[in-house]
Amino acid sequence: MLRSLNIRDFVIVEQLELEFETGFTVLTGETGAGKSILIDALALAVGERGDATVVRQGAERAEIAAEFDTAGLPLLKRWLEENDLEGEDDACLLRRVIDSGGRSRAFINGCSVTATQLREAGAFLIDIHGQHENQSLLRGTAQRELLDAYAGLDEIVAAVSVAWRAWQGARNQRAALETNAAAYVAEREELEARLRELDALKFDAGEWQETNAEHARLAHGQSLIEGAQFAMDALFDSENSSVSQLNAVSGRLDHLLEYDVRLKEIIDIVASAQAQAQEAVYMLRDYQQRLDIDPKRFREMEQRLEAVHASARKFRVAPELLPDLLTRTRERLAELGGSLDLDVVRQREAEAQDAYFEVAKKLSAGRKKGAKKLAEKVTEAMQALAMAGGSFDVGLKPQPDGAANGLEQIEFLVSAHKGVEPRPLAKVASGGELSRISLAIQTVSSEVAQVPTLIFDEVDAGIGGRVAEIVGQMLKKLGGRHQVMCVTHLPQVAASADQQWQVSKSAAGGKVASRVAILGATERIEEIARMLGGVKITETTRKHAAEMLGIE
């Protein structure tokens, strides 16, 4: 729902900060006070086109910010996530700025966005019924979705979409095979030859490291033996070996210890060095004895390395990437599968096509039934809304070849009066008629409607008396399920509201400004009385207004 609206320097509004409630709210006031300006501002906030004419005279720019509560709107939250536009928990801020030169900028949750993105987000949040372009019921997609939701067909709609993708996938595979059969055969033969060679190689990344290490050891075996012998000679076996030198040092210092005990720490270090050197000699002898220089094993390692490098050169990858190449080869062969058998592929396509049409025909049957029921209910509602003799119908235009959304296009058709040829809802000329037809549709479908905030402009155009009271009752009922706002001149409609706002206009310093006041019980009586009685308000008029409001 709409939480707040902040308007600055828009047409005749200098600044307004409005907080909104749930239920049904009406905006009333004298003609020309600027009631519809609030609706126009909201329309701009959700993506309607605007130009420099909306900037208040003398101001640099107009700015509109609308904050919405997104709790219970998972589709919007998913859309925001997909577009990296997430905001605070359960909140979405739409902002529009238009400067005096006509340049327009849009923001969602503080991030700059395109006008298209602003409209997409706004479509999840608000519907403005009147002459505004962003009214969702004028769009074919929204009409189809409303019918499907009203008829309880959401699950089968999803099944049709899945079946369509499966059929198109099989169809594309068959077409590609027919066009590129020779190329597929060549590719498969190449993949199978590569798979045989890589399988025979039995390459393992861990084994590759061990092989390289062993090859290096065998290749430098003589150097390793000579190095070990040199180390043993230097440490122990030569005449001036390290061990003998350390023994001499230790003996000399031991004789001097009785003269200076501070030599004890040094003697201990020398003794440790003796022990370490002796241990190194033992380890070198063991290493030398275990060092195995096997010419046969060395040749085996040479052959193994050459085989791996040969495969790597052949397939143009580094040796360590051969396992990844093997995996990709198997995956591609699996993708090709039995696709080289054109008859099998054609059979799969036929089966997928049959499966699609089977589920799509069930959807068509459900739509036909739902369309009849929706048309009857909306037509019935129209009779009470000053459109006696008018009718509503749901056109199901066949799409014989099918589509992801089924076997028909959905179009709402309306005849506002008896004898008038039904026309698409988008072509209904009168803003008042369009608004009332939208009210009838929204009332009938209120249980399944997804958009939380509904605004009706011009809904009372050309009506009065009993019809006006019915419109008020319908809006009140709709307000039980949605946040509903309505601009009205009719006291019957205003009296039905849960909240009433009065829009007024004043002039100061040569400038005209529009203001909004939230009316309490006493103020509502006065405003309803003004709407009933005109310039002169009598006690009788006030009493009638209080009676309409149910206030004693």
Domain spans in the chain, listed from the N-terminal domain onward: 1-135+496-518, 185-336
Identify the DSSP state of 454.
E
Sign of the Cα torsion 473, 475, 477, 479 reads negative
pLDDT in tens, 328-362: 888 888 877 655 577 888 899 999 999 999 999 99
pLDDT in tens, 405-451: 999 999 999 987 887 888 888 777 566 778 788 888 888 887 777 78
pLDDT in tens, 85-121: 988 888 999 999 999 988 999 999 999 999 999 999 9
Which long-range contacts (C-beta less than 8 Å, at least 24 apart) are formed by 287-296? 287/228, 288/225, 288/228, 288/229, 288/232, 291/221, 291/224, 291/225, 291/228, 293/218, 293/221, 293/222, 293/225, 294/218
**pTM, to two decimals:** 0.63
SS3 414: strand
**Residue 90 Rama label (left phi>0; alpha psi -120 to 50; beta):** left
- Per-residue pLDDT, averaged over 128-132, amounts to 68
Residue type, 29: G
For 1-135+496-518, CATH gives: 3.40.50.300
By DSSP bridging, strand 483-487 and strand 24-28 are: parallel
Q: Is the pLDDT of residue 485 over 70?
A: yes
End-to-end Cα spacing for the chain:
32
C-alpha separations of 51 from 46, 127, 462 in Å: 15, 21, 30
Give the pLDDT confidence score for residue 218 in this predicted structure.
62
Edge-to-edge strand list for the sheet holding 511-518: 126-129, 453-456, 483-487, 24-28, 499-508, 511-518
Which of 116-125, 190-199, 227-236, 257-266 has maximum average pLDDT?
116-125
> Residues 315, 307: contact at Cβ < 8 Å?
no
| Residue 144, both tokens | 């189809």
Give the pLDDT confidence score for residue 224 in this predicted structure.
64
Give the pLDDT confidence score for residue 151 in this predicted structure.
92
Where does the pLDDT of residue 201 fall: very low under 50, low under 70, confident under 90, or very high at 90 and above? confident
C-alpha separations of 429 from 13, 122, 435 in Å: 29, 24, 11
